[in-house]
Structure 1
Amino acid sequence: MRFDDIARTSPSIPREFTNFPMSVSLVDHSAPSHVFNDYLAMRTTRAGTISPNDRKVHVTQTVSTIFQFRAIDWGMENCELHVAIPPVDRPTTLALYRLNATVPLDISTLSFNVRPPRVAKLSNIVLGQDSLDWHRKLSCAMDDVLVFELACSEDEVSGSCDIEWWQAREETAPGECFTTLYEIR
């Protein structure tokens, strides 16, 4: 497409936008072949069956959540993953992993058995009485698929990790929602 031939200002003017996950899916290592679906959240309209943008996130000792993103703009190779979570009643440590995926995952067949392998642990994320706004810069190129898994940390005491919320695109009052933001800067 010859995007490289377009004249650009120098130095470049930083721009940013928010790119929400194209999918949010659950996997369960205690039921490794189970495929979670969002049929309960689907609704029928005149145009057909649609799934809402808000997705359930659930993390327990056995269940983890997989977030899938696509870098959608040319020339904006600096990505930043944001995880914002309101205060929680009891401290919990979650682990965020990067998964080895270069093509979009088929969420209709995604289970623990077929999820991409973990390639790196990005961080332990400690939830507590204060709101959390964790972020990490990543390099990305146009059309890159970036997949992350949020799971209980291996350091968590057995049975103490059970967190659930909705990943929401629409911002609500502080403390009412969880939003995973993927900002391209």
Structure 2
Amino acid sequence: MQEEEYSKLLDTQNSLDSDESDSLDIRTQYILPPLLRWVAAAVVIIGIIDTCALVYVTHMFNTVFRPKDFASRLQYGNPYIGLQDLYSSGKVNSSAIDPIVLRPRSSAQVFVDEPDRVSPRGLRDTWKAGWGTVSPNERHLHVTPITHTIVQYRTIDFGMEDCHLVLTLPEPGVSLEAGASSNVTLSSRITVFRLAAEHPVDVKTLSYRTRPKVSRGVAVRVQPGIGGDTLLHRFPCPSASLHVFEIACADGSDCLLDVWSSQNTTYGINILQHQTV
């Protein structure tokens, strides 16, 4: 009898426990879905905020901060305001001015057999205590069948807009000042190309593959004149205009030009600006 009562009590207790468990499961089912929805909504909102922040920061970097080549792409302002009208009127005559020698802003080598090799820089840079790295005012013209030299100029002067591209070499046997040198094969023949460059060439990234495209040839199979100037090309050069040329050996010519200018010499490829007013 007692065993039957005890068994009934156990069954009742088990039934109560089962009812409580079922009730807890039901409450959990009703509680979890809203919680998951809130968590999912929070994740979506945070993701949207992060995306908007990323887009804003990207836009800020693209519009607020200047690109690295910002300065090189600026147009040169005309400092000679009114001079063109003044001289065009015929009321004023300019005094005679000797030709101006314009040295290249840069003279860099590229390599046909290594098209991805970047042009060497700082070949003659020196270190001086108290000053740091010093770059001498020297230009290198080096031309072989596999080495070309790219020179670029910016003509600034008003009224000196008739330009002659010339090759200047020293007289044989002349004593040259420190830094200047000339090694030229007499049988050399060179060809000159004008390159299509709207902006200054960045010599830090310049290579044979990345150089500007050839616009046209301006001198073909020219023999360098030893001692003096050899005219390569004559062209108009308005104030503030950019001019980039590539110097190469003529096809079939086993040529060699290895010329260094120095602080006080102008050996190599230069421009002579002649008066036009």
What TM bracket, shorter-length normalisation? 0.7 to 0.9
Verify: 1:138 aligned to 2:235, yes or no: yes
The answer to whether the 8 A contact 1:21-1:67 is kept is yes
% identical aligned pairs? 28
How many residues in Structure 1 have an aligned counterpart in Structure 2? 176
Counterpart of 2:163, as a letter, is C
Deviates more, 1:53-62 or 1:11-20: 11-20
Verify: 1:181 aligned to 2:270, yes or no: yes
Counterpart of 2:245, as a letter, is F
Deviation at 1:61, TM superposition (A): 1.1
The answer to whether the 8 A contact 2:185-2:255 is kept is no
Structure 1, unpaired ranges of 5+ = 172-176
Verify: 1:32 aligned to 2:115, yes or no: yes
Deviates more, 1:160-169 or 1:31-40: 160-169
- 1:41-80 map, 5 Å: 41-45=124-128, 46-80=130-164
**What's the counterpart of residue 166 of structure 1?**
260
**What's the counterpart of residue 94 of structure 1?**
190
The answer to whether the 8 A contact 1:20-1:169 is kept is no
Counterpart of 1:39, as a letter, is G
Verify: 1:147 aligned to 2:249, yes or no: no
**Aligned equivalents of 1:169, 1:179: Cα separation in 2:** 13
Q: Deviations over 1:10-65 (max 9, x none)?
A: 44334232111000000001100101222331123434423222122211111100
Structural RMSD (CA): 2.4
Verify: 1:20 aligned to 2:103, yes or no: yes
TM-score by length of 1: 0.82
**Aligned equivalents of 1:99, 1:179: Cα separation in 2:** 18
Higher relative contact order (CA 8 A, sep 6+): 1
Write 1 or 2 for the structure with the bigger share of helix.
2
Structure 2, unpaired ranges of 5+ = 1-77, 173-183
Write 1 or 2 for the structure with the bigger share of strand.
1
Deviation at 1:85, TM superposition (A): 2.3
Deviation at 1:100, TM superposition (A): 1.0
Q: Which has the larger radius of gyration?
A: 2
- 1:114-125 map, 5 Å: 114-123=210-219, 124-125=221-222
Counterpart of 1:97, as a letter, is F
TM-score by length of 2: 0.57
Counterpart of 1:165, as a letter, is V
Counterpart of 1:34, as a letter, is R
